[in-house]
């Protein structure tokens, strides 16, 4: 596979915090553009750490990481922001800004990028309607239900049309029906061309999705191809 056929490549990548033991050890895998993968594994296996390496919030202690064909193992401060603009992230604790409305939370990446409200108002409104928040655009995060907050975080992560979408336990605090609804949002984004990577403990969702899996355990990774027919 050449660089044009991959968005993420890990080559013998290890990671540790401080002087502790390796959280991740000798990881080797490649993700193609437009692919869909789950990251699974027990608590403490390194799922969140793996996502941090992909969105450049951490650096490997060993090995090489390539994003979009570029070596980012020790990316400079100038390179990181450019690459991060191509990656959307749904954090486990959502990180919604409580003093901003749903609309302004979703629009924040565009505002930071210097876009004028008149240029993006309709696009953000359309996106919020698409995730089922069309009637809640003026609501503050504290007044939104858990599933609504999750969908708002997804909208914010994809508002600038990222090439990669990372989600850390996006269905961890919602019921089964809402988890399925959120998963279907990710499927639709993937159909539009976004590479989707979801870290989750929800084994039922993984099994029914029919999607490929990167399974982490004891710091090691096992790639499991998509098997069976998708049931969601």
111 in any annotated domain = yes
- Per-residue pLDDT band at 179 (split at 50, 70, 90): confident
170 in any annotated domain = no
Output the CA torsion sign for 144, 231, 27, 34.
negative
Distance CA 36, CA 194 (A): 9
Number of domains in the chain: 1
128 in any annotated domain = yes
Determine the structural domain holding residue 151 and report its residue range.
95-161
Q: What is the 3-state secondary structure (H, E, C) of the chain?
A: CCHHHCCEEEEEEEEECCCCCEEEEEEEEEECCCCEEEEECCCCCCHHHHHHHHCCCCCCCEEEEEECCEECCCCCCCHHHHHHCCEEEECCCCCCCCCCCHHHHHHHHHHHCCCCHHHHHHHHHHHHHHCCCCCCCCCCHHHCCHHHHHHHHHHHHHCCCCCEEEEECCCCCCCHHHHHHHHHHHHHHHHCCCEEEEECCCHHHHHHHCCEEEEEECCEEEEECCCCCCCC
Distance CA 128, CA 26 (A): 40
Convert the pLDDT of each residue in 39-60 to its tens digit.
Answer: 999 988 999 999 999 999 999 9
173 in any annotated domain = no
pLDDT above 80 for 191? yes
* Mean pLDDT in residue range 3-15: 90
- What is the overall mean pLDDT for the chain? 91
* Mean pLDDT in residue range 137-159: 94
């Amino acid at each position: 596979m050449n660089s044009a056929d991959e968005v993420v490549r890990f080559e013998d990548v290890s990671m540790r915090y401080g002087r502790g033991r390796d959280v991740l050890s000798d990881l080797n895998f490649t993700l193609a553009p437009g692919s869909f993968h789950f990251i699974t594994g027990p608590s403490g296996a390194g799922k969140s750490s793996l996502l941090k390496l992909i969105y450049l919030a951490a650096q490997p202690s060993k090995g090489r990481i390539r994003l979009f064909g570029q070596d980012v193992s020790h990316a400079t401060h100038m390179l990181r922001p450019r690459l991060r603009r191509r990656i959307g992230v749904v954090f486990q604790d959502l990180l919604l800004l409580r003093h901003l409305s749903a609309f302004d939370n979703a629009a924040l990446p565009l505002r930071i990028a210097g876009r004028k409200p008149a240029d993006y108002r309709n696009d953000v409104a359309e996106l919020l309607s698409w995730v089922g928040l069309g009637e809640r655009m003026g609501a503050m995060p504290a007044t939104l239900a858990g599933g609504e907050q999750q969908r708002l975080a997804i909208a914010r992560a994809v508002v600038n049309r990222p090439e990669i979408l990372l989600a850390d336990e996006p269905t961890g605090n919602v019921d089964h029906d809402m988890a399925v609804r959120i998963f279907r949002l990710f499927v639709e984004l993937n159909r539009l061309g976004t590479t989707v990577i979801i870290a989750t403990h929800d084994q039922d969702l993984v099994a029914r999705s029919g999607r490929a899996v990167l399974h982490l355990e004891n710091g090691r990774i096992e790639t499991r191809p998509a098997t069976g027919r998708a049931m969601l």
